[in-house]
Structure 1
Amino acid sequence: MTSNLLRVGILGVGRMGADHAERVATRINGARLVAVSDPATERARELAASFDGVRAVDDGLALVTDDEVEAVVVASPGFAHEEQVIACLEAGKPVLCEKPLTMDSASSLRLVEMEAKGGRPLVQVGFMRRFDPEYAELKRLLDSGSLGRTLMVHNTHRNKDTLPGFVSEMIVRDSLVHEVDVTRWLFGEEITQIHVLAPTPTSVADEGVLDPQIAILTMAGGGIATNEVFVNTGIGYEVRCEAVAEHGNATIGLGVGPLVRQVNRAGTHIPEDFRERFATAYDLEVQAWVDATRRGEVVGPTTWDGYAAAVVCTAGVESLTTGRPVTVELAPRPTFAV
């Protein structure tokens, strides 16, 4: 890096991008927010004006090639990721790309291959659950072997509501993708089959939206993961995970804060949305990205992880459409050019 502080630009200033902007500008050590960009140019200008020394750049690709920007956070909608990550790779700039890496397996594989041909890793994919303290502790517990071999994982992913236009396929590509990644990570194996089932949908969902959904994942080693995704519960943001092993089990995500028992009632706080539930995870994720980038390294989920999740989700959309299990087939994993 050319300065003591990593100069960061952010593409996309919706809920996630604005949250990252505030994070980089106020809470991340070793980094300085210098530019933001969004097709909603007025919104980008308003956000930039809320921080000292931050510019709004109307053209997102111009932000990538801007000499002041040393590294990029891609927080734009998934359909824009391929073009923007390609621009970062061509410019040789490290990038933290929010999930999904891209919207389909073919375009994700193109990024994997392009990065490998470039000779060094530059992309971290924003699967922030790997940085959440509870998930990290669960991973350490399973890897320690103290519970024996992991047999099953049960994931629950519930949102209070969704933005307009959040269709059935997006539940797979934008929501289930988190469970896909965390399941691969916890088992330490690839997924070989996915079967997505849709029970009677909630009346709260938009017309034609299949919500909730149940996805059954089969692992390369024979393990099974069940996944409930329900994005219009009207209650709050709930993410839980139970790992069942040969000699015990462990559950995380039972609540935020203490479980209070009083006057024949017990309860805990349910977060409003993902920004509250995973605030610490996002902080740790971005800090790890900044620290690694300043060292010239990449940590956390890679383009391969993003690609593998995209393949599973592409198969999941097919399963949702046909009602049948779909085999997951990954391309050979390329190695970095030397």
Structure 2
Amino acid sequence: MTLPSSATPATGPLRVGVVGVGVMGADHARRVATRIANATLVAIADPDTGRAQGLADALGGGVRVVADPMELIADDGVDAVLLASPGSVHPEQLLACIERGTPVLCEKPLTMDSDSSLQVIAAERAAGRPLVQVGFMRRFDPEYARLKQLLDSRRWGRTLLLHQTHRNLSVPNPHFRSEMIVRDSLVHEVDCARWLLGEEIASVQVISPTPTSHALEGVVDPQVSIFRMASGAVVTNEVFVNSRTGYEVRCEAVAETGSAIIGRPASGIYTTHVDPDGGEGSWGGGIDPDYRTRFERAYDIEVQAWVDATRRGGLVGPTSWDGYASTVVCTAGMESLATGRPVEVTLAPSTESARAD
């Protein structure tokens, strides 16, 4: 998409500031500093200034470190912001970026609730141009991109089913709860379903199998969810955050005259297991340990595309509307988790002209 003429294309490297240097933010900071063309990491903001300074020093110095994200956002030396802070503080930070006309790549979730997401959308509309890209990186993964092209071609007719699998090795967070599986993990399946099928989710149901013995007390893990799409297509999702085997993300699309699977590292019989001698889970060739390894290429493509589009005065990728829609679906999913019943998804009327497809 192209922004109005008020958005002036950059003539030099994009000066990027990163807010939040936890696992994901630190990974992005390294990415911008070392692997992204036509971009320069100029600033990092994190309340833990010691950790932030250590990262800045490791990247060769010259990167400003501040404790207050709002100070970074207000810095005239920052052209664009990569937001990797907790979702609870996204509304304030996003609105500050929009007020200044600063493009922002926001890691999911856009916000934690639908009302604040709608405030972000309204602020963008008032500003006259879209500024927010949401970090649903699977859209940039080469396998997912090829699957999207295949399904859009209608070569095999209408897509009737998607089967999505999302497994993590383990969750070290002692405060992790069942709802976080829906809000923080299933959210990716929500976006993939909407994007791959090109339509909205009409209802969601979360089913609770017997929990694994590796789950924390009271945590429902794994979870199986069912999306019914606006067209009547059905999407099944397995999210298992304590699989003990590694990080696995797969998707199978079933159309009228064909099917396709992505995310399988080997052909033939595919099994995963835990080494009885205490080693890592394996399939014979190893399983990715976490999302940073599995989707490293997708993250690189995502951030490079964001930088390139921003320098042109444009925007590419999932929009604030996509972030809002995913938040609404996950909120319905958490309600279904509590009741076991299907919950209808109701979105606000959309007048957004720049929805990603």
Shared fold per TM-score greater than 0.5: yes
After the TM superposition, which of the residue ranges 45-54 and 278-287 deviates more from structure 2? 45-54
Q: Secondary structure at the match of 1:68?
A: coil
Matches within 5 A, 1:156-175: 156-164=165-173, 165-175=175-185
2:285 equivalent to 1:268: yes
2:332 alignment partner in structure 1: 315
Where does residue 274 of structure 2 map in the other structure? none
Aligned to 1:325: 342
CA distance in 2, matches of 1:121, 1:77: 22
Which string of whole-angstrom CA distances, capped at 9 and with x for unpartnered residues, describes residues 219-247 of structure 1?
Answer: 00000000000001111000000000000
Q: Does residue 57 of structure 2 align to residue 40 of structure 1?
A: no
Worse-superposed segment, 42-51 or 318-327: 42-51
Q: Are the equivalent residues in 2 in contact too, given 1:37–1:44 (CA < 8 A)? A: yes
Partner of 1:211: 221
Q: CA deviation at 1:249?
A: 0.2
Tell me the distance in 2 between the aligned counterparts of 1:166 and 1:226.
23
Query: Which one has a larger percent strand, Structure 1 or Structure 2?
Result: 1
Q: Structure 1 residues 296, 246: CA separation in 2 closer, same or farther (over 3 Å shift)? A: same
Q: 1:58 to 1:17 in 2, by over 3 A?
A: same
Q: Report SS of the residue matched to 2:99.
A: helix
Name the structure 2 match of 1:251.
261
* Cα shift at 1:259: 8.1
Provide closer, same or farther for how the CA distance between residues 305 and 202 of structure 1 changes in structure 2, counting only shifts above 3 A: same
* Corresponding residue of 1:144: 153
- SS of match in other structure, 1:267: coil
Helix, strand or coil at the partner of 1:251: strand
For the residue of structure 2 that corresponds to 1:299, the secondary structure is coil
- The one-letter amino acid of 1:134's match is E
- Alpha-carbon shift at residue 200 of structure 1 (Å): 1.1
**Structure 1 residue 45 displacement after superposition:** 1.2
1:197 alignment partner, one of 197, 207, 218: 207
Task: Provide the rounded CA distance (Å) in 1 between the counterparts of 2:283 and 2:105.
Answer: 40
Q: What number of residue pairs does the alignment pair up? A: 333
**Does residue 180 of structure 1 match 2:190?**
yes
Q: Tell me which residue corresponds to 2:304.
A: 287
Out of 97-106 and 280-289, give the one that drifted further: 97-106
Cα deviation for residue 268 of structure 1 reads 3.3
The amino acid of 1:61's aligned partner reads M
Distance 1:326 1:18, change over 3 A: same
User: 1:86 is matched with which residue?
Assistant: 95
- Cα shift at 1:145: 1.1
Aligned pairs for 1:95-114 (under 5 A) are 95-114=104-123
Worse overlay, 102-111 or 293-302: 102-111
Query: Which residue of structure 2 lines up, in the alignment, with residue 297 of structure 1?
Result: 314
Unaligned runs of 5+ in 1: none
Given that 1:116 and 1:336 are in contact with CA atoms closer than 8 Å, whether structure 2 keeps it comes out as no
* CA displacement, residues 29-77 of structure 1 (integer Å, 9 cap, x when unaligned): 0100000011212111111122231111111111001111110000112
Match of 2:126 among 114, 117, 121: 117
Report the RMSD for the aligned CA atoms in angstroms.
1.8
Runs of 4 or more above 6 Å deviation: 257-261
Aligned-residue offset at 1:267: 3.3
> 2:168, 2:290 within 8 Å by CA — same for their partners in 1?
yes
- Greater Cα shift, 6-15 or 265-274: 265-274
- Give the conservation status (yes or no) of the 8 Å contact 1:236–1:270: yes
Segment drifting more, 202-211 vs 270-279: 202-211
| Distance across 2 between alignment mates of 1:63 and 1:84 | 10
Question: How high is the sequence identity, in percent, across the aligned residues?
Answer: 63
Which amino acid in structure 2 is aligned with residue 136 of structure 1? Answer: A
One-letter amino acid matched to 1:233: S
Report the AA paired with residue 171 of structure 1.
I
